[in-house]
Chain A
Amino acid sequence: MKKEAKILLDKTKRTLNDPLKMRIAGNEIKNVLMTVFKYVILIGVSYVIIAPVIGMFVNSIKSDADAFNPMVFVLPQHPTLEKYKLAILRLDYWKTAAKSIGYTAGLTVVQLLVCSMVGYGFARFDFPFKKLLFGCVVVTIIIPSHTVMLPLYMTFRSIDPFGIGKLLTGTPGLNGTVIPMYIMTLLGCGLRSGLFIYIFNQFFRGLPKEIEEAAFVDGAGMFYTYMRIMLVNAMPAVITVTVFSIVWQFNDVFFAKLFLIPDSTAISKRIASLQGIIANEDQILSLTLQELYRDAGALLVITPVAIIYLILQKNFIEGVERSGIVG
């Protein structure tokens, strides 16, 4: 023992006397400290992000007895799935979620096609007023959508081609159906379409022109080149836009509320009334208990997008790094 201690002491002495070794040791200590510091911050911030989710999850599996038991902290004593059962019933979850996902998927596909097309048009073709028009795209990103909300509501309320709206909702106008949202998206003015056009434009500009020229020489038309060659090459941008589009459409409440899209197709809207429904229909009047159901419902609503995000996550972040978000 003594011998070992002596060796160690000698070693330390030698290090202390040698300035070069001292510097290396200092650097090592600094590196270790920096790594620790980094992980402390990352874990801390991650905790702040994840804590509400954990809290919601814990709440959602609590039984009634646990909710009122002050001894219960984090881990419930009698975990139960009954909160989920009722939330699923009252949200009409499977049907609503399926409809919601269908609606989101439809809009995402349309948005992807239209925005990539417009982005490609701006990136690869030269025409008069191009700069001015692209400036207008940037303006659509910047103008908050509430500036135009009233006219949009009034417009879609007033037009009713072939009485479709009346047929579907009983009131004149297209509000109350999903048609306004599809029209807006189809015309490149959907939810944050401007941003997506911008992303696609930046990405297409970064692709080498030779690919297109080769396609052109081989006799491909311009539209064919865009569909079969450029869009395929723009996969990182496509994935980025897909993730953003799905997440934002699925979570959107603003347009859903504005166009009075029925609760049965917009789960994001439906969740807002869950607590009230459970309070009224099931006569659960205790707010503490209502909150448990609310948390279960919220988790149910997040689940589909969370799954999609987890699947696309790796591609997504790589895609962001390579896609044209950065000019």
Chain B
Amino acid sequence: MNKKKTRLSLSQKRMIMGYIFILPWFIGFLLFYVRSIFMTGQFSLAKLTVNANVGGYTLEFLGFKNFVFAFREHGSFKQVLTTSVINMLVDVPLVTFFSLFMAILLNKKFPGRAFFRAVFFLPVILNSGAISAMMDLAETMMNGGISATASEVATGDTSNIAFNIDYLVNMFMNLGLPSSILGYLSSAVGRINDIIKASGVQIIIFIAALQSIPSSMYEVAKIEGATAYETFWKVTFPMVMPHIITNVVYTIVDSFTNSEVVDLAYKTAFTDHNYGVSAVFSIVSTVVTCAILVIVVTLIQKRTFYYN
């Protein structure tokens, strides 16, 4: 009798099972994200002292002093933040269009496709934190190391790809292109290495997106007599538009995670033990990232076409 009353319907059972399935993540989210964000806010308003032997820490409330310090007195924060943001704004369109272009090239069947695809994902492996950290360290040793003499530094880089861009710049300058556009383009060519390195995952996402476009659409376009150019702008581009948002978001976040602001925040916390100021850096950079994300996504979303 009693058993019958407490018996749950199937949908209720499934509801509970659903909660059980997501439970681990939910606990983690509360513990590591909600709580941490709250704590970062707390740290940014206080002076944090680590208790050396016992573990734990004490907080001393300071108000907005850390913020004032970060913006008014800290030597490099503002500059680092602006360069990071500018780098990101320069990178995002370049990476997005480069990866779209490459995905289109790699999408169709041709001899050697498997090889090229494997190569294009290599940067994700090579661009590891490990290798770049090592390179960074090598660079600081190179710049500040006592044993470094000019000749040794000069013979060091045989693997660098040197490319003299001045010649091209002069040529286009003579053609009368505006220097601001030229500056952007030349910096883009100069950064081709970084752009290629940063676009491994994006290329994969775009390839997947291109594969998901129904082939019937291309058939229709062909029957109606559309040229390749028209087909791209009328079929391919609108269909991958939603994934452009995904990729832009991914690129922005990725570019910020690898930016100098993070390094600065890390260094301030763990080298200088200035935890409060480091928390301020984290908060400010996160707010800036989120603001940029919201602006960019809303701008693109307006022009996005959703097939389904």
Q: What are 30 A-B pairs with beta-carbon distances under 8 A?
A: A46-B116, A48-B192, A50-B122, A55-B159, A67-B155, A70-B155, A118-B25, A122-B22, A127-B15, A127-B19, A142-B290, A142-B293, A146-B266, A147-B37, A150-B39, A153-B269, A154-B39, A154-B50, A187-B32, A188-B29, A189-B31, A251-B130, A251-B131, A268-B133, A279-B147, A286-B152, A287-B152, A288-B152, A317-B121, A320-B207
Bound together, the chains give a CA A121 to CA B102 distance in angstroms of: 35
Q: How many of chain B's residues touch chain A, expressed as a range?
A: 35 or more
From B62-70, B170-178, B216-224, B276-284, give the one contacting chain A: B276-284
Cβ A49 vs Cβ B196 within 8 A: yes
Instruction: With CB as the reference atom, state the residue of chain B lying closest to A114.
Output: B24
Bound together, the chains give a CA A325 to CA B56 distance in angstroms of: 41
Let me know if A59 is at the binding interface, CB within 8 A: yes
Let me know if B253 is at the binding interface, CB within 8 A: yes
Let me know if B164 is at the binding interface, CB within 8 A: no
From A9-17, A18-26, A101-109, A270-278, give the one contacting chain B: A270-278
Cβ A187 vs Cβ B125 within 8 A: no
Bound together, the chains give a CA A290 to CA B156 distance in angstroms of: 10
Bound together, the chains give a CA A325 to CA B148 distance in angstroms of: 47
A45-B102, A267-B130, A272-B130 as given contacts; A306 in contact with B125, CB under 8 Å: yes
Q: A-B pairs with CB below 8 Å: how many?
A: 291
A189-B29, A287-B141 as given contacts; A149 in contact with B266, CB under 8 Å: yes
Partner of B18, one of A121, A268, A309, A323: A121
Bound together, the chains give a CA A272 to CA B130 distance in angstroms of: 7
Cβ B105 vs Cβ A49 within 8 A: no
Cβ A254 vs Cβ B129 within 8 A: yes
Instruction: Give the top 3 A-B pairs by smallest Cβ distance, nearest first.
Output: A55-B159, A121-B21, A125-B18
Q: How many of chain A's residues touch chain B, expressed as a range?
A: 35 or more
Cβ A127 vs Cβ B18 within 8 A: yes
Let me know if B214 is at the binding interface, CB within 8 A: no
Partner of B25, one of A197, A253, A288, A305: A197
Within 8 A of A (CB), among B244-298: 249, 253, 256-257, 262, 265-266, 269-270, 275, 278-279, 282-283, 285-286, 289-290, 293
Let me know if A148 is at the binding interface, CB within 8 A: yes
Residues of chain B within 8 A (CB-CB) of A58 are: 158-159
Residues of chain B within 8 A (CB-CB) of A46 are: 116, 119-120
Cβ A52 vs Cβ B126 within 8 A: yes
Let me know if A252 is at the binding interface, CB within 8 A: yes
Bound together, the chains give a CA A133 to CA B261 distance in angstroms of: 30
A136-B29, A302-B126 as given contacts; A148 in contact with B204, CB under 8 Å: no
Bound together, the chains give a CA A48 to CA B43 distance in angstroms of: 44
Instruction: With CB as the reference atom, state the residue of chain B lying closest to A251.
Output: B128
Let me know if B27 is at the binding interface, CB within 8 A: yes
Let me know if A261 is at the binding interface, CB within 8 A: no
Which residue, of B55, B114, B126, B207, has the highest number of chain A Cβ atoms within 10 A?
B55
Partner of B193, one of A48, A117, A136, A186: A48
Bound together, the chains give a CA A82 to CA B29 distance in angstroms of: 49
Bound together, the chains give a CA A54 to CA B126 distance in angstroms of: 12
Let me know if B117 is at the binding interface, CB within 8 A: yes
Bound together, the chains give a CA A222 to CA B40 distance in angstroms of: 39
Cβ A146 vs Cβ B262 within 8 A: yes
Cβ A189 vs Cβ B28 within 8 A: yes
Partner of B43, one of A150, A173, A188, A252: A150
Cβ A298 vs Cβ B25 within 8 A: no
Cβ B137 vs Cβ A275 within 8 A: yes
Let me know if B33 is at the binding interface, CB within 8 A: yes
Let me know if B9 is at the binding interface, CB within 8 A: no
Let me know if B47 is at the binding interface, CB within 8 A: no
Partner of A142, one of B148, B243, B253, B266: B253
